[in-house]
Amino acid sequence: MERYDHLYRLYEEFDAETLRAYRDFVDLFPPVDERVALSYWEDASEQLDERRAAIQEAFPGTGETYADIAARATRDQAFTGLDLATKHDRAVNALVLDVDETLRSAGSRSSSARARPWRTSRGFSSRGSGTPSSTPAS
């Protein structure tokens, strides 16, 4: 129950949505030589570090883990992961793709996409990097 209590506290006391936005910005927007853009990136990076540090201080011993959770998962995702970990007594490591929704949002290309399913799970074991490959199935 302690982990559930910590998750409740994490999402009640900290703005995880903003933390995720800063993490996304810092990870996806590389620092560039343009002064204004670099200034935005540095500000976001500092905010990310400050918010992560606040979470780490609030949870001694496990703060880095909770900061990672808040920076990557919504409240619902975090609780679902904890439920699964508790139920199966092991860490969660899964990639779930909503293929139907992806095909619906693809518009006119959905019929051709349905004809060529993509293999993503093969890349995890063959490359060992944790990054799925995007190779069309034959």
Cβ atoms < 10 Å from Cβ of 45: 16
The Cα–Cα gap between 28 and 136 comes to 26
Could you read off the pLDDT tens digit of each residue along the chain, which spans 138 residues? 788 999 999 999 999 999 999 999 998 887 677 888 888 889 999 999 999 999 999 999 999 999 999 999 999 999 988 998 888 887 777 656 566 666 666 665 544 444 444 443 333 333 444 434 444 444
The domain spans of the chain are 2-88, 99-136
Write down the pLDDT at residue 131.
Answer: 39
The reported pTM is 0.63
The torsion of the CA quartet 122, 127, 131, 134, rounded to 10 degrees, works out to -50
Instruction: Give the pLDDT confidence of 24-57 residue by residue, as tens digits.
Output: 999 888 767 788 888 888 999 999 999 999 999 9
Q: Are 48 and 26 in contact (CB under 8 A)?
A: yes
